[in-house]
Amino acid sequence: MPVKKQLEVMLADAPGELAKLTEILSSEHINIEAMNIQDANEYLLALYDVRSQTGRRVAPRDYYEAILKESAKYSMIRFITDNPEKAADVLGSAGYKVKLEDVIGLVLQNKPGLLNKVSKAFGDAGINISYTYGAGFSDSFSALFIFKVSDMEKALEMFPSGLVE
């Protein structure tokens, strides 16, 4: 089944913070299967730039600047583990704010055009891809991609096995 529980954690943007988080998981024998870390400030700067270009502001400039200043202290980490409920519990006990959400994990044959095939299929079905992350080395047969989509049920009907060839 391609539905996976993804954990989201705001991680302090400082040396050693990822090591602290992964030590907690390691000590509980929880394996990380996929991960993405995004600089929160970089994301918000891009959003701020888009809003500046479009003129669509819903708050005063000072509000945006305060959020940008605060976000510089954090990164967003999204990851899949072999035991998401336990991971959420142990990280929560360690003081992390953890959000669990459903995502789709697809294993794609690692060849040109497969990610295009999947994204086109989602688009043609009216399913928005909020974000995706994945990896597959050039010498690997397959690649794993995680998708956060607007219509999970419809997406699951399209790729029920999670394998895309």
Kindly state whether residues 122 and 155 are assigned to the same domain: yes
Does residue 160 have a pLDDT over 70? Answer: yes
**pLDDT score, position 63:** 54
54 HSE (CA, 13 A, CB side): 9
What pTM value is reported for the model? 0.80
How is 102-125 classified by DSSP, letter by letter? EEEEEEEESSTTHHHHHHHHHHHT
Tell me the range of 6-10, 40-44, 159-163 where mean pLDDT is highest: 6-10
Write down which residue in 77, 100, 123 finishes a domain. 100
Cβ count within 10 A of residue 108: 21
Kindly state whether residues 87 and 120 are assigned to the same domain: no
Q: Is there a domain that residue 3 lies in? A: no
**pLDDT score, position 70:** 55
User: To 5 degrees, how large is the angle CA 60–CA 65–CA 66?
Assistant: 100
End-to-end CA distance of the chain: 16
Q: Give the pair of three-digit tokens for residue 156.
A: 């699951």
Q: Considering the chain, what is the average pLDDT of its residues?
A: 87
> Per-residue pLDDT tens for 118-140?
999 999 999 999 999 999 998 99
User: Pick from 152, 158, 108: which is nearest to 133 by CA?
Assistant: 108
CATH of the domain at 155: 3.30.70.260
